[in-house]
Chains A and B, each alone.
Chain A
Amino acid sequence: MAQVLLFGRLADIAGWRARAFEATDLSQLRAALAGSDPLLGEALAGPGVQVAVDKAIVRGEATLSAASEVAFLPPMSGG
């Protein structure tokens, strides 16, 4: 089970901030998230949304382990 974290407006859309999902890679995880909540799936694929796996930004695909932490980061606003 990968631990999924949502930030900013993504957490508002989903109504949760942290939840575990069964997935062995990012595409599978995106499909599982979109399957559980189509609005969230659309927001995650939106412009400027970055993904961090274990706190490092990932572009494209990544394999996930049971201990992976996957964070979806909407455009950063600065402080």
Chain B
Amino acid sequence: MSVRLQTEPFDPGALLTAFCAGRTETGAVASFTGIARAGRGETVSLELEAYPGFTDAEIDRMGAAAAQRFTLQDWLVVHRTGKIAPGEPVVFVATASSHRREAFEACDHLMDYLKSRAPFWKKEHGPAGDRWIEPTDRDRTDAERWETS
């Protein structure tokens, strides 16, 4: 049950292997890796800003709520901050549960939260200059799926 913000790149395979290790009573682990996209060559790099002590506390609160809602045994969120080049992993989420449905749904739920509401500020550095990004309508509607169910 943990969240980690880091400026260093990470290896999603190594994170998943470590997360799965020693789980004789788990049954299901789902994971998601988000990778920085070039956007048809428009984005040279992505810059993510977090508020240390606030951003991680908010994600931790969301993770704890998801753990309760989806009966998780464990969860892990690793999120990059700082400058990220296209092709580099930005975010890794893993969820562990007794059954696959809960693991899949909790992972999907956590990603919708991370993409739409988590306290990050995102800037794209492109050939035409820099611009701050706000959540897309798609990010918002994806996150709203979880509000009534």
Residues of A within 8 A of B (CB): 5, 7-9, 12, 52, 55, 71, 73-79
Contacts and interface: CB of A to CB of B under 8 A. Distances in A.
A77 B51 contact: no
Interface of B: 34, 48-49, 51, 53-54, 57, 79, 90-91, 114-123, 132-135, 139
Contacts of B79: 79
Contacts of A78: 114-118, 120, 122, 135, 139
A8 B134 CA distance: 11
A55 B54 contact: yes
Given A7-B121, A8-B121, A55-B57, A75 B134 contact: yes
A71 B135 contact: no
Nearest to B111: A79
B42 to A, nearest CB: 17
A78 B115 CA distance: 4
Contacts of A12: 132
B128 to A, nearest CB: 16
A48 to B, nearest CB: 9
A52 B120 CA distance: 14
Nearest to A11: B49
